Chain A
Amino acid sequence: MSEKTTFWLDGAEIPFTAGQTLLEAARRAGHYIPHLCWHPDYKPHGSCKLCTVKVDGRFVSACTTLAQAGAHVENRTAELDDMRRTLLQLLFVEGNHFCPSCEKSGQCLLQATAYELGMMSPHFDHFFPNRPVDASHPEVMLDFNRCILCSLCEQAAKRDGKFTFVMGGRGMRGRRVILNSESGRLADTDFSSTDHAAHVCPVGVILKKRVGFAVPYGQRRYDQAPVSLLDVAEAIK
């Protein structure tokens, strides 16, 4: 049995087992650390930086940093939440996030995290980029206006032994998800609506057709409770 030790998170003592990350141990102990690109079923890659915490004064990603005995970790401080809000605002202006017309509204991790952090405005000037919508597949559509480049679809496809979604391109406007078919369309890939990738998107890019408003606004996942409660409830159930 691995040795149990503890670290300190915003003054609370958090137990962990060797090899656990700060994010995993905190969630397991009922403490929410904001995150977007992290998913419990996939290897963390620390790219969205929402889970940034301060360990003994140094900024680290909580999803990729192993817990260490006796460490003092700052999480929901005004300083860190301010920075997280700025990261969210940058994501909102970089894509086209029009919540009132989005099927994912109320079940979207980006939106729920912005609610949690009290984001009242996008603050920056919008890019309003021109991004494609792909409705070629009979069961699933893709709306890249909302993509936050978390790469979870790429990882989820690999879990099924597929390379349907691949992160490609360079730079702020070039980086994107590329579909692995000659036409570049979803219908021409080996994608199936039963793939793990069909259900992993934290925002409203990968959407099952014809069920968009089966559950009305107001009765959706994050309408019931804030993400901070649901996230840790999921970890300890």
Chain B
Amino acid sequence: MNAPAKLRIATASLAGCFGCHMSFLDIDERLLELIDLVEFDRTPLTDIKTCHPCDLGLIEGGVCNAENVHVLRTFRQNCKTLVAIGACAVNGGLPAQRNHLDLRDILETIYETEGGLARGTHIPNDPELPLPLNRVHPIHEIVKVDYFLPGCPPSADAIWKFLTDLIAGRTPTLGHGLLRYD
């Protein structure tokens, strides 16, 4: 008998800190069990830059600029199941704490008026830089999200429980100790 086809997984960090990806790597030797079941598409782990059709997409981080919107929509188009991983993807997290401030005021303060800057420093305006959005959004405000795994970051045990439930075809349940928002 042929072995069952492996699930394809893609991951990305948008307006996040890669902490959720680090926590994912903290599943340690269980990674060996996981790669018997899945293969990785676009993810910082493979360095593949474009997302192809996948079974599962894991998104870390909220949406703070135009490029985040593009990547997120590409993931939604390509992934049968899309998961928001971590506080920032779920509710905007730390980057969203700028949301009650005016974007121009923030940029001017950081790049022009704050002490310690070189003379004549201006807000970066390189066409390669994605334009920031007025507000940072949780990913469910941009695309449909199938599952949410909160935490800052979610612990390796929570990620493992979540993924093994999902891969086995069960609705992921975390319970006391694994479901955390901090």
Which A residues are within 8 Å of any B CB, using their own CB? 92, 96-102, 105-106, 111, 114-115, 118, 120-123, 125-126, 128-131, 217, 223, 225-226
Contacts and interface: CB of A to CB of B under 8 A. Distances in A.
Contacts of B152: 99-100
A217 B182 contact: yes
B138 A126 contact: yes
Given A98-B94, A99-B87, A100-B181, 18 more contacts: A96-B97, A96-B100, A99-B182, A100-B94, A100-B182, A114-B181, A115-B180, A118-B179, A121-B84, A121-B140, A125-B141, A126-B96, A128-B92, A128-B96, A128-B99, A128-B100, A128-B135, A129-B100
B181 A120 contact: no
Nearest to B172: A120
Nearest to B19: A100
A120 B93 contact: no
Contacts of B173: 118
B86 to A, nearest CB: 9
Contacts of B138: 121-122, 126
Interface string B152-182: 1000000000000000000001101101111
Most chain B beta-carbon neighbours within 10 Å: one of A106, A111, A126, A226: A126
6 contacts: A99-B152, A100-B181, A105-B181, A120-B149, A120-B150, A126-B96
Contacts of B92: 126, 128
Nearest to A99: B181
- By secondary structure, the A interface counts as loop
A115 B175 CA distance: 8
Given A92-B91, A100-B94, A128-B96, A115 B145 contact: no
Nearest to A229: B176
A115 B138 CA distance: 20
A141 B92 CA distance: 25
Interface of B: 84, 87, 90-94, 96-97, 99-100, 135, 137-138, 140-141, 145, 147-150, 152, 173-174, 176-177, 179-182
B84 A100 contact: no
Contacts of A131: 100
A63 to B, nearest CB: 24
A115 to B, nearest CB: 5
A106 B148 CA distance: 20
A222 B129 CA distance: 43
Contacts of A126: 91-92, 96, 99, 137-138, 141
A121 to B, nearest CB: 4
B99 A121 contact: no
A225 B84 CA distance: 26
B90 A121 contact: yes
A99 B173 CA distance: 20
B148 A121 contact: yes
A159 B137 CA distance: 42
A98 B91 CA distance: 8
B157 to A, nearest CB: 13
Contacts of A223: 177
Nearest to B91: A122
A100 B95 CA distance: 12
Contacts of B135: 128
A102 B182 contact: yes
A111 B137 CA distance: 21
Contact of A98 (B97, B149, B179, B180): B97
Contacts of A96: 97, 100
A97 B138 CA distance: 13
